[in-house]
Chains A and B, each alone.
Chain A
Amino acid sequence: MIDPSPAPAGAADVADAFRRLVDNVELVIAGNTDAVETAAVCLLADGNLLLEGVPGVGKTTLARALARSIGGEFSRIQSTPDLLPSDLTGISVYDQQHGEFRFVPGPVFANVVLVDEINRTTPRTQSALLEPMEERQVTVEGTTYPLPAPYVVIATENPIEQHGTYPLPEGQLDRFAMTVFVGYPDGSMSRDIVRRQLRRHPMHDLRPVLSPDQVLRAQRAVRTVHVDDTIVDYVVALVTATRQAPEVALGASPRSTVVLTRCAQAQAAARGRDHVLPDDVKALAPSVLSHRVVPRQARAGAEIGRRVVGRALDEVPVPLHVDASPGRG
């Protein structure tokens, strides 16, 4: 049930909201706690989420469960190759009755937008999502329409090795705060999953546990989590390290340092802390940075990105104090 508490949220409140959210989603998704928690953190960090995994592990279910847990408007877009940009953003329609053009909003106008199998639609259509994801607004024929708050785009993606796919361009990938890999559920939970779904899909019974207002407040509270200079140095060092691997054509962008810091704040708040620890950064770095690394060899795949980030985590030392001398590189 929604708890309508109007007071400004602190870290403890964020932790509470997080816990409620995760527990609610886990009613529907079992055996993928890490993915669920990371997705919830992404939401609290006000970032867009990209879910990856082979078909059938529950990516769409996870996204829908998240969407339903926070109430608000939800829209689902199934990507097909014949999808046009205007199908996403909306079009101006001539209203014969009133003799004027009327804007009919497209499915991106919602609190939670689920774009399923985003890599099955053409890059032209994918780029229609850039503006909503980054700037939270849509410009159609010169007029700008704001999108509701809170706003999150959750996209699912089949691995690129599969057929009939269009890999997401770098600019698009950079707009996703995190990539969460949804794998096969734990063995022990597999039986549970089948049992649960046999009678009636639990999704139908899922009720929201947070209101959009509470989500907004939680997101604002996340911004106030204390970030020490050493953490910032660490994040910068990690991102710099990803740029220097020789198999990388393009490393993580400067935007990713801000994103990683924000996600670390969300992680800290989710654990009930009012300050970020380097552990938070380390835990989230693969999710935040892997997909932003562009490998030199075109056919490399996501492996390279994860490997580069893993190596950076292994090599960049965790600073215990602020370094007065200029950082090594």
Chain B
Amino acid sequence: MKLEIRASAGRPEDSIAIRVVVAVAVTIAIGAVVAQPDAVPAPVAVASLLLAPLGYWFSYRRRHASNLLLKVALSVALLAALGQFLGDVRSVTSVDQARIPLASLFLWVQVLHAFDVPRRRDLAFSMVSSLILIAEAGSLSLTTSFALFLLPWAGFAGAWLSLSAKPRADQVAAPVAIRRVAPDRRSPRTAPIRPAAATAGLALLATSLVFVSMPRLPGSFVRTPPFSLAGNPSAVSGFDGTVSNPGLPAEAGDGVVDFSSGGYPGFSDVVDLQARGRLSDDLAFRVRAQQAALWRAQVFDRFDGALWTVTHDETTSLTPDGDGLSVVVPSDIALGNGALGGGSSRVVQTFYIEVPQPNVLFAAASARQVFFPSAGLRVDAAGSIRSPILLDRGLVYSVVSEVPATPAPLLRLARAQVPRGLTPYLQLPDDLPSRVGDLAAEITRGRAAWYDRVIAVQRWLRANTRYDLGVPRDPEGVDAVDHFLFETRRGYCEQIASSMAVMLRTLGIPTRLVTGYGPGQRNPLTGYFEVKQSDAHAWVEVFYPGIGWVPYDPTFGVPEAAPSAAGRFMAGPVFAAIGRFMRDVVPAPLKAAAGEAGRVVGATGALALRTWPVVMLVLMVAGVALTLARRSRRRSHADPIAPGEAAFLALVDALGPTGHVRAPQSTPSEFLDELAGDAGLDADVVEAADLVVRTFERERFAPVKPSEGEIDRARDASGRVRHLVGRR
């Protein structure tokens, strides 16, 4: 944005193409920004979308004028926008809240700048600022649908790069004339598109390679993670710190609350191992975090053979931090629930709720600091945070957690001694069959350290039990864990996790059940973890003296707390995403067919190895057939060719290998003379060529056309030439 008064030096850019490209790119960028929810107020959005293209048109018309008055007016308007921004921003408490006025200001700058872009350099500034707008929109965007803006913008930006690479008129000599003589009248209409498509393809390939090899490092720039509400909150009536889950269905007849598509029974005060049902695959929420983790909600400590409950469910209220933006989990709770020593990773997570959730906050264990758009949070002794409002769609909150990252050797060194306060975590149901304990002892035979025992139990469960959502309800009166371990070996994650907890408790290792959500799938483009309703999950936490509570997941495994170097790259999530895409998008019959085809290919390959001569023959025939088909396809695109001319063209074609090429400016007779002058050619060839040329000339130029018989003779002659030449 120029604020100078004197007329700018330099030639104005006359090319309309560049202007159109820049105007469209800028409009797309503006559109991307205003399409993000709550980015800018609606009047600003509409105004900027309409004014930007108008500005480019206007500055094109006025590109030769000095526009002094215009520059003054634009400066005034810019100052007005700046004043507006400062006014809006005065009442803001965090950087995050300044986002909307900042975005509005930037849009105004862009739109005002669009009215004064006479030179190529100004258009370049416009493109750079459209890049900034797109980047801003990209940083706000949560979904893959941002690609709908990004790809067209990239196309126009590429077009701008191409167009502006052409030198300005004053950088090259002004020509007196430029003539282009096209070689072939049959140049296809798609000719201009092919090189552009090739360039775009190459650029896409290069981009993909770079993207896959970019490391994702943890950043530490942002001090205040975002948190906000969208619309009016749904308060929990009579909030006292308990979990309220409106999504749960009513009790089934036998007193069991089953799963509903939107309600996980694990988010309540009991976990009933009899609950059955399926959760939907709708997106529950998105998480922005630099690594995957299990999003923990609630902790249960008492098992009675069918239900898990919480013994001490008192909650304390969380007090705000010094700056009033966040609340801090009391350190005794935090430390008592996380890894005390042995290392942890600090993970900043931001949750964007899509589907209404119960009023328990999900966060990686263990949460230390919470940024929530409402006061009145309460936390229980196990670090499970409850809120006075339900987590509605559009709610955003952030949590800073310390995820335990103790390496295995350290865990092995933990003393095998249960601290006094943790005996509730050894509680077992009274009527637990002894074979459960026997099984646990057998699995962990020979292992002394708690770590090794835990790993052994987890491994055994992974190998010997199956995750199956189709299991029926347990029969009356049986212990759920015993029934699972010895009768069915199939079940929900609750059964599997419960089994691990119970078995470890029989070995004297303090363990507890945890519910929450699994890490979800990382969208490689947006970088967010997309957590579905069906990712609701249960796992266990094991206590190591001197270290703390460490999570284990016998169903799927816990994500690494300290991701290795390889985990920093997006290659994994990209391929996983592609795999998911193929699985979801490709319809089932096609997948089955692909599987069948794969089997057939394998069988054929084996067969081919045994009968390879036949295979070679088949391939040769296929090759010849393809070549002929391609040639005839080329021919059929053209206008119908007279037979004499066809014979002549075939003759020219046949003589290609001899080095005689018919130049476009030579006549058929001259071509024939050239052949006659070549001593290396057989007389037969020349004679046959003579016949073909003469016949063609008569067909083309003479008033009396040659007869059918003569044309046939010419065709034969042409074939003879091909045969004769091929023989040499």
A contacting B, Cβ–Cβ less than 8 Å: yes
Q: B-contacting residues of A (Cβ < 8 Å)?
A: 226, 228, 230-231, 244, 246, 273-279, 282, 313-318, 320-321, 323-325, 328
Q: Which of the residues A231, A244, A246 comes within 8 Å of B701, measured between beta carbons? A: A231
Given known pairs A246-B176, A321-B645, the reply for A230 and B700 (CB within 8 Å) is yes
* Least Cβ–Cβ distance between B250 and chain A, in angstroms: 77
Are B667 and A228 within 8 A (Cβ)?
no
Give CA–CA (A317, B177) in the complex, Å: 22
- Whether A318 contacts B666 in the complex (CB less than 8 A), given A230-B701, A275-B701, comes out as yes
Q: What are 18 of the A-B contact pairs (CB < 8 Å)?
A: A230-B701, A231-B701, A246-B176, A278-B667, A278-B669, A279-B667, A279-B669, A282-B667, A315-B181, A317-B665, A318-B665, A318-B666, A318-B667, A320-B645, A320-B668, A320-B700, A321-B641, A328-B185
Taking the complex as formed, is B639 at the interface, i.e. its CB lies under 8 A from any CB of chain A?
Answer: yes
Task: Give A328 to B641 CA distance when docked, in angstroms.
Answer: 21
B670 within 8 A of A: yes
**SS class of chain A's interface: helix, strand, loop or mixed?**
loop
Given A244-B179, A246-B176, A321-B641: A316 touches B701 (CB 8 Å cut-off): no
| Residues of chain A within 8 A of B700, CB atoms compared | 228, 230, 320-321
The residues of B that contact A318 with a CB separation of less than 8 Å are 664-668
Chain A nearest CB, measured from B648 CB (Å): 7
CB-nearest residue of chain B to A230: B700
How far is A98 from B179 in the complex, measured between Cα atoms in Å? 69
Give A316 to B665 CA distance when docked, in angstroms: 6
Q: Is B210 engaged at the interface, CB distance under 8 Å to the other chain?
A: no
Report the number of A-B residue pairs with Cβ-Cβ less than 8 Å: 60
Give Cα A313 to B664, complex, Å.
10
User: A244 to chain B: closest CB distance in Å?
Assistant: 7
Residue of A nearest to B181 (CB): A328
Q: B626-649 toward A: CB 8 Å interface, digit per residue (1/0)?
A: 000000000000010110010010
B641 near A226 with CB under 8 A, answer no
User: Which of B176, B641, B670 meets A279, CB within 8 Å?
Assistant: B670
Task: Kindly list chain B residues whose C-beta atoms are within 8 Å of the C-beta of A321.
Answer: 639, 641-642, 645, 700
Task: Give the residue of A226, A277, A323 whose beta carbon is less than 8 angstroms from that of B669.
Answer: A277
Would A246 and B177 be within 8 Å (CB), given that A277-B697, A318-B666 are in contact? yes
Report B423 CB to chain A, min CB distance, Å. Answer: 95
Tell whether A226 pairs with B701 under 8 Å between CB atoms, given A321-B641, A325-B185.
yes
B residues near A317, Cβ cutoff 8 Å: 664-665
Residue of A nearest to B696 (CB): A320
Answer yes or no: B593 CB below 8 A from chain A CBs: no
| B contact residues around A315 at 8 Å (CB) | 181, 665
A318 to B, closest residue via Cβ: B667
Residues of A within 8 A of B639 (CB): 321, 324
Is B701 a contact partner of A320 (Cβ separation < 8 A)?
no
| Contact residues in A for B668 (Cβ distance below 8 Å) | 278, 318, 320
Q: Which of A228, A244, A323 contacts B185 (CB 8 A)?
A: A323
Asked if B703 is an interface residue, CB under 8 A from chain A, the answer is yes
Using Cβ atoms and an 8 Å threshold, which residues of chain A touch B701? 226, 228, 230-231, 275-278
B702 within 8 A of A: yes
Q: Is there contact, CB below 8 Å, between A274 and B185?
A: no
Nearest A-chain residue to B177, judged by Cβ:
A246
Taking a contact as CB atoms under 8 Å apart, the answer to whether B703 and A226 are in contact is yes
B182 within 8 A of A: yes
Q: Which B residues are CB-close (under 8 A) to A278?
A: 667-669, 701
Q: Which of A275, A314, A316 has the most CB of B within 10 A?
A: A275
Residues of A contacting B179 in the complex (Cβ-Cβ under 8 angstroms):
244
Closest to B652 in A: A320
Chain B residue, CB-CB nearest to A278: B667
- A237 CB → nearest B CB, Å: 10
Kindly state the separation between the CA atoms of A77 and B291 in the bound complex, as whole angstroms: 107
| Bound-complex Cα distance A274 to B669 (A) | 16
A-chain residues with CB within 8 Å of residue B642 when the two chains form the complex: 321
Interface pair B667/A274, CB less than 8 Å apart: no
**B residues near A276, Cβ cutoff 8 Å:** 701
How many chain B residues touch A (CB < 8 A): the figure is 25
> In the complex, what residues of B have CB within 8 A of residue A323's CB?
185
Residue of A nearest to B184 (CB): A317
Q: Which residue of A lies closest to B697 (CB)?
A: A277
B667 to chain A, nearest CB (A): 4
Measured CA separation A230–B667 after assembly (Å): 12
| C-alpha gap A224/B177 in the complex (Å) | 42
CB of A275 within 8 A of CB of B667, answer no
A325 to B184 CA separation, bound complex (whole angstroms): 12
Closest chain B residue, CB of each to CB of A315: B665
- Give the one of B641, B664, B698, B704 with max A CB within 10 A: B664
A321→B700 CA distance, assembly (Å): 7
Q: Which 8 A-B pairs have the closest CB atoms?
A: A317-B664, A226-B703, A275-B702, A278-B667, A275-B701, A279-B669, A228-B701, A279-B667
- In addition to A246-B177, A278-B668, A278-B701, 10 A-B residue pairs with Cβ atoms within 8 Å of each other are A226-B702, A244-B179, A275-B698, A275-B703, A282-B667, A314-B665, A320-B648, A321-B645, A321-B700, A324-B639
Which of B177, B182, B185, B667 is close to A277, meaning CB atoms less than 8 Å apart? B667
Q: Could you tell me the distance between the alpha carbons of A244 and B180 in the complex, rounded to whole angstroms?
A: 12
Interface centre among B664, B667, B698 (most CB of A within 10 A): B667
* B642 CB, min distance to chain A CBs, angstroms: 7
Complex alpha-carbon distance, A325 and B702, angstroms: 23
Report the separation of the CA atoms of residues A226 and B177 in the bound assembly, to the nearest whole angstrom.
38
Q: How far is the CA of A279 from the CA of B672 in the complex (A)?
A: 12
Closest A residue by C-beta to B664:
A317
Name the B residues within 8 Å of A314 (CB-CB). Answer: 665
Give CA–CA (A321, B669) in the complex, Å: 15
A230 and B668 CA atoms in complex are apart in Å by: 13
CA distance A127 to B698 in the complex (A): 44
Separation in Å of the A282 CB from the closest CB of chain B? 6
Bound state CA distance, A45 and B666, in angstroms?
25
**Which residues of chain A come closer than 8 Å to B667, judged between CB atoms?**
277-279, 282, 318
Q: How far is the CB of B676 from chain A (nearest CB, A)?
A: 14
Write the chain A residue with the least CB distance to B667: A278
**Inter-chain contacts of B703 with A (CB < 8 A):** 226, 274-275
CA distance A317 to B666 in the complex (A): 7
Complex Cα spacing A282 to B670, Å: 10
A325 to B666, CA, bound (A): 21
In the assembled complex, the Cα of A282 lies from the Cα of B176 at a distance in Å of: 30
Distance in angstroms between the alpha carbons of A314 and B666 in the assembled complex: 8
Chain B residues lying within 8 Å of A328, measured Cβ to Cβ, are: 181-182, 185
A17 CA to B698 CA in the complex, in Å?
24
Bound Cα distance A276, B700 (Å): 10
List residues of chain B with CB within 8 A of the CB of A316: 665
Measured in the bound complex, the distance between the Cα atoms of B324 and A1 in whole Å is: 128
Q: Residues of A contacting B648 with CB < 8 Å?
A: 320
Chain B residue at minimal CB-CB distance from A273: B702
Residues of B within 8 A of A324 (CB): 639
* A67→B669 CA distance, assembly (Å): 33
Chain B residues within an 8 Å CB radius of A279: 667, 669-670
Which residues from B are CB-within-8-Å of A282? Answer: 667, 670
The residues in B between 436 and 466 inclusive whose CB is less than 8 angstroms from any CB of A are none
Residues of B within 8 A of A244 (CB): 179
- Tell me, in angstroms, the Cα distance from A226 to B698 when the chains sit together: 11
Output the nearest chain B residue to A228 by Cβ-Cβ distance: B701
Chain A, Cβ-Cβ closest to B702: A275
Which chain A residues border B641 with CB–CB below 8 Å? 321
B11 to chain A, nearest CB (A): 27
Query: In the complex, which residues of chain B have a beta carbon less than 8 angstroms from the beta carbon of A228?
Result: 700-701
Within B82-106, the residues touching A (CB, 8 Å) are: none
CB distance from B695 to the nearest CB of A (A): 13
Within 8 A of A (CB), among B657-682: 664-670
A246 to B177, CA, bound (A): 8
A313-B665 contact, Cβ under 8 Å, with A246-B177, A275-B701: yes
Which single residue of chain A is at the shortest CB-CB distance from B666?
Answer: A318
Q: In the bound complex, how far is the Cα of B664 from the Cα of A277, in angstroms? A: 15
B340 CB → nearest A CB, Å: 84
- A226 CA to B701 CA, complexed, in Å: 8
Interfacial chain B residues near A325, Cβ < 8 Å: 185
